[in-house]
Amino acid sequence: MTSRERYKRTLLFKEVDKVPFQPGGPRESTLKRWREEGLPEGRDWFSHLCDLLGIELEKPQKPIVNLKISFEPIPPFEEKVLERRGNHLIVQDYKGAIVEIEDKYDFSYLRYAKDFVTRKWHKFPVENEDDWKEMKRRFNPQSPERYDEDLEIKGDILKDRDWVLTISIPGPFWQMRDWCGLEKLCLLMIEKPAFVREMSDFWREFVSTILKKYVDKISFDAVIINEDMAYKGKSMISPSMVREFLFPCWREWSELLRNSGCEIIILDSDGYIGELIPIWIEAGINCTIPLEIAAGNDPVELRKKFGKNIAFIGGIDKRKIAKGGKELEEELVRSVPFMLNYGGYIPTCDHAVPPDVSWENFLYYSRILAKLTGWL
């Protein structure tokens, strides 16, 4: 069974020879600690982990193709330092937000999730409808820079792939929050709902236009919609707001993707998601990640409640991985076998692996996980 077949069949509740082995990956600070604790410099952490565990690393036999697709502002805002305050910098990022960060970080940390970086937002680019008119100019779905110029050629190559092809889409809540900021967006939902609907409708059409250029040539294995829309214990906005402002986007994209042969639509959100899952399912979403335990999510209880209507990726408490030992083992044995027996589950750390996880504890955890998923 190829890694592609295994991934898709697992998340679609079908039988597999073994479940994908995905313990979770480190950020920059975590990787730095692991290098100091025995991970060889310059060696890929996952390859070395598999060697230590005695797992034969599966390598695709078909060509790996990097596919270009962009939902970013074009042109981006100028990245610039506006002010220094002690060891902090006030900067404008490429999305147009005014952000405060420590001066040990450069702009690449704002562009990519390279590490756990504390940020303070001072101002967002869309404060009123005039700002919105200007912002729309940066999101022209016809901009050629958004598309892969070799799409026809790559589409033919990708038809016979044996590896998993996924893309990520900024969801409507994620994108409007980037434009307006969380507090402002929430106030607009109450005070100017028509304006929020206009932004959401624009984003729905913008993403659909871009996707249509690709799905005629390529069937993705999975598409991840990034939202991050929940706190510990509750959604950031009410279910009725979710239905009004976000649901139409999810439903249209899910239908478009399914009609193209993409069977797995994943919603990415930290926080407690119990009250959101029924709406996601109704919108056509059939998987979620990362199932954060500290926020009150219990994989076993959610599985019992929602059955085979939604698959899960994640669900292993990063805090328990950091502690290691008996406490970690008991937690894994409590939830993972039940979830794997039911199907529709890829166990992994419930976010990027933080730097309080030692290399020794990560190896210990990965060995247990490899046994539970059938690799050892």
Average pLDDT rounded to a whole number, residues 131-144: 98
What pLDDT score does 225 carry? 98
CA-CA distance, 182 to 175, in Å (whole number)?
10
The answer to whether residue 255 scores a pLDDT higher than 90 is: yes
Average pLDDT rounded to a whole number, residues 271-298: 97
Average pLDDT rounded to a whole number, residues 320-349: 95
The answer to whether residue 91 scores a pLDDT higher than 90 is: yes
Q: Which fold has domain 3-75+126-372?
A: TIM Barrel (3.20.20)
| pLDDT tens digits, 203-215 | 999 999 999 999 9
Of all residues in the chain, what percent carry a pLDDT higher than 70? 100
Sheet strand arrangement including 166-170: 166-170, 222-226, 264-268, 287-289, 311-316, 345-349
| pLDDT tens digits, 169-180 | 999 999 999 999
What pLDDT score does 57 carry? 85
| pLDDT tens digits, 16-56 | 999 999 999 999 999 999 999 999 999 999 999 999 999 99
pLDDT band at 331 (very low <50, low <70, confident <90, very high): confident
Structure tokens belonging to residue 373: 């998923």
The answer to whether residue 294 scores a pLDDT higher than 90 is: yes
Q: What is the pTM of this model?
A: 0.97
Average pLDDT rounded to a whole number, residues 98-125: 96
Average pLDDT rounded to a whole number, residues 363-372: 97
pLDDT band at 187 (very low <50, low <70, confident <90, very high): very high
Exposed, middle or buried: residue 5 (CB in 10 Å: 0-12, 13-18, 19+)? middle
pLDDT band at 276 (very low <50, low <70, confident <90, very high): very high
Per the prediction, the chain carries an average pLDDT of 97
CA-CA distance, 109 to 117, in Å (whole number)?
7
What pLDDT score does 161 carry? 96
pLDDT band at 58 (very low <50, low <70, confident <90, very high): confident
**Structural domain spans, the chain:** 3-75+126-372, 78-124
| pLDDT tens digits, 302-329 | 999 999 999 999 999 999 999 999 999 9
